[in-house]
Amino acid sequence: MKLTTKQLTLCAVLTALALALSYVENFLPLSLAVPLPGVKLGLANIVTVFALYALGIGQAFLILIARCTLGALFAGNLNALLFSLLGGLSAMAVMALLSRSKRLSIYGVSVGGAAAHNCGQVAAAVLTLGNTAPLYYLPLLLGVSLFTGALTGFAAGLLFRALEHTSLMKA
């Protein structure tokens, strides 16, 4: 894939943004509101949604791979790579499909992505553990993903509205 300097720079900034968002959301006391293990807002998904629409699936894929690899490196945990890759790739595949539909808004796309992300992560947990015990959490996680997906969809929507007032994504 040939990238212009502007595209490459934007990809790098978005990768850094996704890493920062997934770090920052660790500090949100979400587990106080939803006392379930493994529940996260998935703020980094805002970046995937944005990249998918604004830059296309190729660059969104590059950003996702860079984010997962660097995130696992920073955490010093190779196990985390499997989790974030399976979660992230499932979310992106589902969102790429859903975003083709003209009848869905960014909310539907984002909720589908959040649900797929949970399915991917539970699949990674099943693979890591070698048994199906993590499947027990999936229904709860899917329920929560309706809210987290809508929230990240809203945030990404704000981003697109704000961008209309800038020259960043103009020809």
Partner 1 sequence: MPMKRSPEVRPKPADALVALAVLALAAALALSAWGGGRSGGLTAVISVNGQVTETVNLSRLSGPEVRELNANGYTLHVRLSSDGAEVIDSTCPNQVCVHTGHISRAGQSIVCLPARISVTLSGGAENGVDAVLG
Least distance from partner 1 to the Cβ atom of residue 127, Å: 9
**In 52-86, which positions are buried (b, 16+ CB within 10 angstroms) versus exposed (e)?**
bbbbebebbbbbbebbbeebbeeeeeeebbbbbbb
| Choice between 73 and 143, CB closer to partner 1 | 143
Contact between 2 and partner 1 (CB under 8 A)?
A: no
Contact between 161 and partner 1 (CB under 8 A)?
A: yes
Contact between 99 and partner 1 (CB under 8 A)?
A: yes
CA distance readout (Å), 156 to 27, 54, 58, 160: 21, 11, 19, 6
Task: Specify whether the CB–CB gap between 142 and 114 falls below 8 A.
Answer: no
Among 4, 29, 32, 78, binds partner 1 (CB under 8 A): 4
Q: How many CB atoms lie within 10 A of CB 155?
A: 18
Number of residues that bind partner 1 (CB under 8 A): 51
Among 34, 38, 70, 93, binds partner 1 (CB under 8 A): 38
Alpha-carbon distance 161 to 70, whole Å? 30
Per CB under 8 A, contacts with partner 1 among 100-159 are: 101, 103-109, 111-112, 115, 125, 128-131, 133-136, 138-140, 142-143, 145-146, 156-157
56: alpha, beta or left? (left if phi > 0; alpha if psi -120 to 50): left
Positions touching partner 1 (CB under 8 A) are 4, 6-7, 10, 31, 35, 37-38, 49, 53-56, 79, 98-99, 101, 103-109, 111-112, 115, 125, 128-131, 133-136, 138-140, 142-143, 145-146, 156-157, 160-161, 163, 169-171
